[in-house]
Chains A and B, each alone.
Chain A
């Protein structure tokens, strides 16, 4: 896993969570996942295609989702699976949008698809050229998990320019 590919996502998650939840975030457990992805709560997945390909999964439990949803909506929200789904998709949208902005400014071109709710208990196994990094963000509202599996497929547009 190339650190320059995932760093924008980590920075974006840190900034978006801090801004949205009005608190500082701490990065808790970080691990490389070799086995198939196992869903922890309600998850949303965003796929990326282009110079960089892969997927990012956000995963959150229902009580944490209700707290995050209350910040997003600006008023208290009840605990429900539907609200958790909406919350995790909106968080994914904001974090990935911000990260993509950074990567695009670095010269990478790709297309992101809107977040979809990840309903399967297990995801695909990581492959040799697409390991998954799993990290946990500790926030005052609870833990938010981000699982990134990404790889280069091409070179940046700037790298392809004739010298």
Chain B
């Protein structure tokens, strides 16, 4: 996997992520990518209902949310999370990338959209953009003399 400069929060701590997808593989894959960016996975969920519960429990810096899921779809879950937490940063990650779907997600409070199969360089740039001034690229500390 391509190496990326580590992205951290302004307080120099790791960015905390909640990954929501009904596919275990998709969760693993996205988790691996964000960990390679220096992030920390604080929760995972396989459907929209669990995503809401996990958000309340973990209060992550960012949610990476699939759209098509059983029980409750990602757009509805995003809407509910944003209603309760207007500061929530939610990025939709889906294979269904037609314009109406993207617009619906953004109208419900999602901040961005990434199409599957997820490319790490695109996800990195989207996270950096959505975190805005609340994140920075970590500068390596000089060791010893």
Contact = CB atoms under 8 A, between A and B. Distances in A.
B117 to A, nearest CB: 5
Interface size class of B (residues with CB under 8 A): 20 to 34
Contact of A74 (B1, B22, B70): B1
Given A97-B116, A100-B96, A86 B29 contact: no
A26 B24 CA distance: 28
B28 A104 contact: no
B107 interface: no
B143 interface: no
A90 B69 contact: no
B28 A74 contact: yes
Contact of B23 (A75, A89, A95, A112): A89
Interface in B1-53: 1, 22-26, 28-29, 32
Contact of A87 (B25, B32, B69, B119): B25
A122 B77 CA distance: 37
Interface size class of A (residues with CB under 8 A): 20 to 34
Given A86-B25, A97-B68, A74 B96 contact: no
Given A72-B26, A86-B25, A90-B25, A98 B68 contact: no
A158 interface: no
A94 B95 contact: yes
A74 B23 contact: no
A74 B29 contact: yes
B69 A114 contact: yes
Contacts of A75: 28, 32
A142 to B, nearest CB: 17
A105 interface: yes
Interface of A: 16, 19-20, 69, 72-75, 86-87, 89-90, 93-98, 100-101, 104-105, 112, 114
10 closest Cβ contacts across the A-B interface? A97-B95, A104-B98, A72-B25, A97-B96, A101-B98, A94-B95, A73-B28, A90-B23, A74-B32, A101-B97
